[in-house]
Amino acid sequence: MANTMLELTGIHKSFGENQVLRGIDLIVDKGEVVAILGPSGSGKSTMLRCINHLETIDKGDIKIKNQTLAENGIYVDEKKQREVLSATGMVFQQFNLFPHMTVIENLIEAPIYVKKISRDEAIKTAESLLEKVGLSEVRDRYPARLSGGQQQRVAIARALAMMPDILLFDEPTSALDPELTGEVLKTMRELAAEHMTMIVVTHEMAFAREAASRVIFMAGGVIVEENNPKDFFNNPKEERTKLFLRNML
Amino acid sequence: MEKFLNMTVLIFQGAGVTLEIFFITLILALPIGALAALGRLSKIKPLSLLMEFYVWIMRGTPLMLQLLFVYFALPVVGLRLPDIAAALLAFTLNYAAYFAEIFRAGLQAIPRGQFEASKVLGLSHWHTMKRIVFPQVLRIVLPPISNETINLVKDTSLIYILAMNDLLRVARTIVQREFDMTPFLIAAIFYLAMTAVLTWAFKKLEAHYGKYDA
């Protein structure tokens, strides 16, 4: 229990008439790398966005590091939400870097203003994170001058600068040219090897197979199947999983 | 030559009134326009509708009519403003409405991802607006704001009908008295010079706030 990072119970979410999530239960432990696969429209991105309240759930409970974010679909007050959500970080499909700030400014903005870390210390942390993702040389460039792959690695570094306990990835390589996905996946593999807790919505089968500790397959707003990557890819149990894998591989 | 110098001095005094209207209108209308845009995009429905109504009125009637209304109609209901204040009221309300529409478009052009990234990083709403959204909006709105500002230079000449001695009125008075067209030429040069200065200044601003473009 002490190692539980995330607990979703009975999550329901609709957009108007459209029921996107119909009862999601998920427990993620510290250090797990959970890959979430599924056809488009299966609700996988919505589920991820529900975890950090980019979407509001209709029903269910969300607990992050054993702290309640929502119970029976009712959220805790805003101050408490901030506190609970500070354990999470997110990497978006479209990177969402701040275009008017240089790379280093992107990295230090939140640590300085949210974590109240001194500027010097924030810069020092940011520089070491840039080194980690192999981008020290773009420190003072604006995002528009970077390739997509570089932008996404900066976005990962920006998320890490807030020292989250769980990192959420929403199709982090889907907006990239195929030859640029490799560098982003390499950074993500390195994080996985360091036992960062990660939940990754992705279409990258190779990443799910090699870097994930668990694979979850979603369809029609529910979790259809989950297993360790080896068994998931070699012996899928459900028909829908088999069909999906046949189409993807 | 002496006559020419005298004319120029008189016209420059008129230019003082023109500049006063121009700068005060700009300084008041920009923040009011920004607030009106926020009101227009507010989730509070009555506020949003009120702002939409305000913009409709101000953009839907001639500025000349608005000037006449403030100057002649308001005193009828007991609100008599000094000349310059009346002109400033009409100009400010009119230009703030145009600026509001420009700011609204600028705000709506900011991708949702910028708000989401800010939220995920824990930035407060106010901080997000101030540090993330506003600088990007500024970049987007500078060209249309520049356009409106140059319009304002020329629109100041409308106060001519309120019998205030602005640049154009002084020029016309001299023309009528001396039967000499030179004052019109001097006035034209003044408007052109001011527009040139503004064009240059906005170009500088656009370069400064656009330095992050690829």
pLDDT for residue A216: 97
Average pLDDT, chain A: 95
Three-state SS annotation for B92-115: HHHHHHHHHHHHHHHHHCCCHHHH
The Cβ of residue B27 has, within 10 Å, a number of other Cβ atoms equal to 11
What are the backbone angles phi and psi of residue A224, rounded to the nearest 5°? -85, -40
The pLDDT confidence band at residue A78, using thresholds 50, 70 and 90, is very high
Is the pLDDT confidence value at A123 over 80?
yes
Is the pLDDT confidence value at B210 over 90?
no
Instruction: Return the amino acid letter for B189.
Output: I
Q: Is B171:B183 a contact under the CB 8 Å cutoff?
A: yes
B117, B122, B209: residue with CB nearest A82: B122
CA gap A128, B155 in Å, rounded: 56
Residue A30's closest CA among A198, A188, A187? Answer: A198
| pLDDT (tens digit per residue) in A158-179 | 999 999 999 999 999 999 998 8
| pLDDT (tens digit per residue) in B76-117 | 888 888 888 999 999 999 999 999 999 999 999 999 999 999
Helix pair angle (A103-113, A148-160), 10° resolution: 20
Q: Is A167:B120 a contact under the CB 8 Å cutoff?
A: no
Residues from B contacting A (CB-CB < 8 Å) are: 111, 113-114, 116-117, 119-123, 127, 131-132, 135-136, 139, 209, 211-214
The pLDDT confidence band at residue A109, using thresholds 50, 70 and 90, is very high
Is the pLDDT confidence value at B5 over 90?
no
B113, B131, B136: residue with CB nearest A96: B113
pLDDT for residue B8: 83
pLDDT for residue B180: 85
Beta partners for residue A14, in sequence order: A19
Burial of A228 (0-12, 13-18, 19+ CB in 10 A): exposed
DSSP 8-state assignment for residue A19:
E
The predicted model gives B181-187 an average pLDDT of 88
DSSP 8-state assignment for residue B132:
I
Q: Which residue of B has its CA nearest to A144?
A: B214
Q: What percent of chain B has pLDDT over 90?
A: 65
pLDDT for residue A93: 96
Q: Which residue of A has its CA nearest to B138?
A: A100
pLDDT for residue A33: 96
Whether A114 sits inside 8 A of B123 (CB atoms) is yes
Residue B22's closest CA among B131, B132, B166? Answer: B166
Whether A96 sits inside 8 A of B123 (CB atoms) is no
- B119: which chain A residues are within 8 Å (Cβ-Cβ)? 54
User: What tokens does B143 get?
Assistant: 């060209």
CA gap B143, B207 in Å, rounded: 11
DSSP 8-state assignment for residue B17:
H
Is the pLDDT confidence value at A2 over 70?
no
Q: What is the ipTM of this complex?
A: 0.94
The pLDDT confidence band at residue A1, using thresholds 50, 70 and 90, is low
A86 touches chain B (CB under 8 A): yes
CA gap B34, B30 in Å, rounded: 6
Q: Which residue has better confidence, A99 or B80? A: A99
Q: Is B158:B150 a contact under the CB 8 Å cutoff?
A: no
CA gap A148, A94 in Å, rounded: 9
A80 touches chain B (CB under 8 A): no
Instruction: Return the amino acid letter for B186.
Output: I
| pLDDT (tens digit per residue) in A148-160 | 999 999 999 999 9
CA gap A163, B123 in Å, rounded: 15
Instruction: Return the amino acid letter for A146.
Output: L
Is the pLDDT confidence value at B35 over 70?
yes
Average pLDDT, chain B: 91
* B133 φψ region: left (φ > 0), alpha (ψ -120 to 50), beta (else): alpha
User: What tokens does A133 get?
Assistant: 């993702």
Q: Which of B110, B114, B116, B121 is most worth mutating to test chain A (most A CB atoms within 10 A of its CB)? A: B121
Helix pair angle (A148-160, A119-132), 10° resolution: 130
| pLDDT (tens digit per residue) in B48-82 | 999 999 999 999 999 999 999 998 888 888 888 88
Residue A8's closest CA among A223, A207, A162? Answer: A223
What are the backbone angles phi and psi of residue A170, rounded to the nearest 5°? -105, 95
Whether A94 sits inside 8 A of B132 (CB atoms) is no
